[in-house]
């Protein structure tokens, strides 16, 4: 099967006053259509740069980013984004916020169809009845749910999530993980999730990519085999414990706090 | 319930005004100040009665020149704020100039302007109202635009939106609360500008000139009547801005509690 997202040998450096600051160095990631990859790594290792590269908001110094067999050269409307900060527009209702991308991206939907779709997405994430509320009337978790709907309204084939649950409390976060599974079932997408939370990564993704410390390269890839729909109970099985252990160890290597076997030998 | 709310909204400020006027009247009475030293509120009514046609025509002069100066300040201030908000280089270049310009007391500019454009009283007055009031608008717009979180931009840019679309859909509405905050300041400043020119320039018009003629005749009741008329105009303009703010940026208002 062709990969929907293909990141090949990407290198990138930021120009600073103290000279170039390399953030990405030889990044290799491929995500098959319908796949969900989680990217974890030490703080400040260039994970957010990665999302901006995939979204076409910036170009890498070297290497290539491909989406759908096309090289990414600039922003494309087939991408949906959600950030840690839900960035809803305070002067619009929740429904109008969700509809925002359709004011930019050409759509075949009529006004009525677009609204129906927005209402459907809102009900899918549990925001039925909040369509006419303002963002300031919603809790943090609810705002994030609305931001998710906005990222999906134009049926993007790639959903980029940059730590969307990072600022939420633990229970709300777990609630949203389950919502994500529900959403993916009804609205299939290919996903890239940037996260600091290892449990989140194995619960949501079917592939976890560990990045090394700055400058980041692909250090380790963990496949998370899926056996049917996941529940939160799956996080407390021996298999999950083992996966978390591997990831934790890899993060320590990335942080320079542990030796990898091949260099230790 | 509703009637009670309105009664409170109008009644409380009204009582405050009456208390203030009574205190003023009492202060003049208890000190036994004569009319050529200080006017009491009871002296004002005769002053209005005597000169009401002057108050109407001069008030109108002051009002239209202030509003015109303010409109120009809004246009110029917004453009300047946009330039400084979007371009780092322009911000670095223009900020010191602007701050320096704003630091100059405008009273010192009045004679210069009056001499430069001698005889063009309308032009001078509008110019001064404009010069004194564009600064807060330019600063607020530039700060509003430059502090826009990058994620807001990215949400639209990732969909291929143009800079103009991002400005109209996000940057502009997001800056409106700051803009109206600055406009409230600018309204009162513009009045100061208009009156400075009206008072200082010879053969001036407007409430400022009326004040000046009261001064030369030691007509204290007239001078105080002008001050009250100015305060009234200021309040009216201020609340027009508040009403506009409610319409265009009412979303930014949080209900208390």
**ipTM of the complex in this document:** 0.78
Is it the case that residue A1 has pLDDT exceeding 70?
A: no
Question: pLDDT exceeding 70 applies to what percent of chain A?
Answer: 95
Using 50, 70 and 90 to split pLDDT, how confident is the model at A260? low
Per mean pLDDT, which range of A49-53, A107-111, B52-56, B200-204 is the poorest?
B200-204
Mean pLDDT of A202-209: 90
Supply the pLDDT for residue B186.
94
How far is B92 from chain A, CA to nearest CA, in Å?
A: 18
Torsion sign across C-alpha atoms B249, B174, B157, A116:
negative
Hey, which residues does A82 pair with through a beta bridge?
A: A161
How far is A142 from chain B, CA to nearest CA, in Å?
A: 18
Phi and psi dihedrals of A208, rounded to 5? -115, 120
Mean pLDDT of A121-137: 91
Supply the pLDDT for residue A259.
67
Q: How far apart are CA B146 and CA A211, in angstroms?
A: 33
Supply the pLDDT for residue B254.
63
Mean pLDDT of A8-14: 86
Mean pLDDT of A192-208: 90
Supply the pLDDT for residue B257.
42
Supply the pLDDT for residue A220.
86
Range of the domain at A65: 1-75+194-265
Q: Do A75 and B158 touch (CB under 8 A)?
A: yes
Q: Residue A36 belongs to a domain with what CATH number?
A: 3.40.50.300
Domain-embedded: residue A224: yes
Using 50, 70 and 90 to split pLDDT, how confident is the model at A100? very high
Q: Say if residues A11 and A63 touch (Cβ distance below 8 Å).
A: yes
The stretches in chain B having pLDDT less than 50 are 256-257
Q: How far apart are CA A200 and CA A193, in angstroms?
A: 10
Supply the pLDDT for residue A227.
67
* Strand ranges (E), A139-229: 158-162, 190-194, 207-211, 218-223
Domain-embedded: residue A213: yes
pLDDT in tens, A140-197: 889 999 999 999 999 888 999 998 888 888 888 888 899 888 888 888 889 999 998 9
The shortest CB-CB distance from A81 to any of B158, B251, B252 is to B158
Domain-embedded: residue A182: no
Helix, strand, coil proportions of chain B in percent (round to 5)? 85, 0, 15
In the predicted model, what is the mean pLDDT of chain A?
86
Chain A residues in contact with B251 by the CB 8 A cut-off are 90-91, 134, 136
Is it the case that residue A67 has pLDDT exceeding 60?
A: yes
Q: Where do we find the tokens 């700060």?
A: B143
Domain-embedded: residue A131: no
Cis peptide before A87 (omega within 30 of 0): no
Q: Do A77 and B252 touch (CB under 8 A)?
A: no
Question: pLDDT exceeding 90 applies to what percent of chain A?
Answer: 24
Domain ranges of chain B: 43-251
Tell me B253's DSSP state. P
pTM of the model: 0.78
Domain-embedded: residue A251: yes
The shortest CB-CB distance from B173 to any of A57, A91, A150 is to A91
Supply the pLDDT for residue A264.
42
Q: How far apart are CA B230 and CA B55, in angstroms?
A: 10
> Total structural domains in chain A?
1
Q: Do B159 and A91 touch (CB under 8 A)?
A: no
Give the angle subtended at the CA of B79 by the CAs of B76 and B80, to the nearest 5°.
85
How far is A240 from chain B, CA to nearest CA, in Å?
A: 34
> Candidates 1.10.3720.10, 1.20.120.1730, 1.10.287.130, 3.40.50.300; correct CATH number of B43-251?
1.10.3720.10
The shortest CB-CB distance from A85 to any of B149, B156, B159 is to B149
């Amino acid at each position: 099967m062709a990969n929907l997202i293909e990141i090949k040998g990407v290198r990138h450096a930021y120009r600073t006053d103290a000279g170039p600051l390399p953030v990405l160095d030889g990044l290799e990631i491929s995500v098959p259509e319908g796949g969900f990859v989680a990217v974890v790594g030490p703080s400040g290792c260039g994970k957010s740069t990665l999302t901006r590269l995939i979204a076409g908001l910036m170009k890498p110094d070297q290497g290539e980013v491909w989406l759908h067999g096309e090289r990414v050269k600039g922003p494309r409307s087939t991408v949906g984004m959600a950030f840690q900060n839900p960035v809803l527009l305070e002067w619009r209702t929740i429904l109008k916020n969700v509809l925002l991308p359709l004011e930019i991206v050409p759509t075949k939907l009529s006004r009525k169809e677009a609204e129906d779709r927005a209402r459907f997405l809102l009900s899918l994430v549990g925001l039925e009845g909040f369509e006419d509320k303002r963002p300031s009337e919603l809790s943090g978790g609810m705002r994030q749910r609305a931001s998710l709907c906005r990222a999906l309204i134009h049926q993007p084939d790639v959903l980029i999530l940059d730590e969307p649950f990072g600022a939420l409390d633990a229970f709300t976060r777990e609630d949203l993980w389950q919502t994500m599974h529900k959403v993916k079932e009804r609205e299939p997408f290919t996903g890239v999730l940037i996260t600091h939370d290892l449990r989140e990564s194995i619960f949501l993704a079917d592939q976890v990519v560990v990045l090394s410390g700055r400058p980041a390269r692909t250090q380790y890839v963990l496949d998370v085999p899926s056996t049917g729909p996941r529940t939160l109970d799956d996080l407390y099985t021996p298999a999950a414990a083992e996966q978390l252990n591997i990831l934790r160890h890899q993060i320590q290597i990335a942080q320079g706090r542990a030796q990898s076997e091949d260099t230790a030998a | 319930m509703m009637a009670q709310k309105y009664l409170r909204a109008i009644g409380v400020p009204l009582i405050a005004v009456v208390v203030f006027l009574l205190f003023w009247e009492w202060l003049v009475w208890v000190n036994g100040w004569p009319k050529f030293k200080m006017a009491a509120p009871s002296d004002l009514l005769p002053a209005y009665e005597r000169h009401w046609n002057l108050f109407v025509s001069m008030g109108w002069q002051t009002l239209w020149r202030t509003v015109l100066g303010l409109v120009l300040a809004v246009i110029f201030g917004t453009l300047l704020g946009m330039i400084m908000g979007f371009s780092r280089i322009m911000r670095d270049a223009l900020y010191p100039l602007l701050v320096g310009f704003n630091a100059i007391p405008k009273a010192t500019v009045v004679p210069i302007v009056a001499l430069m454009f001698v005889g063009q009283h309308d032009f001078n007055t509008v110019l001064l109202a404009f010069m004194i009031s564009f600064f807060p608008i330019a600063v607020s717009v530039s700060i509003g635009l430059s502090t826009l979180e990058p994620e807001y931009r990215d949400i639209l840019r990732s969909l291929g939106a143009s800079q103009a679309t991002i400005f109209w859909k996000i940057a502009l509405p997001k800056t409106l609360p700051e803009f109206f905050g600055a406009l409230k300041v600018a309204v009162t400043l513009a009045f100061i500008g208009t009156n400075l020119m009206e008072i200082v320039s010879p053969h001036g018009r407007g409430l400022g000139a009326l004040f000046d003629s009261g001064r030369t005749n030691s007509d204290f009741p007239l001078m105080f009547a002008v001050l009250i008329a100015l305060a009234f105009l200021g309040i009216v303009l201020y609340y027009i801005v508040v009403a506009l703010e409610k319409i265009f940026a009412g979303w930014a208002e949080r209900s208390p509690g």
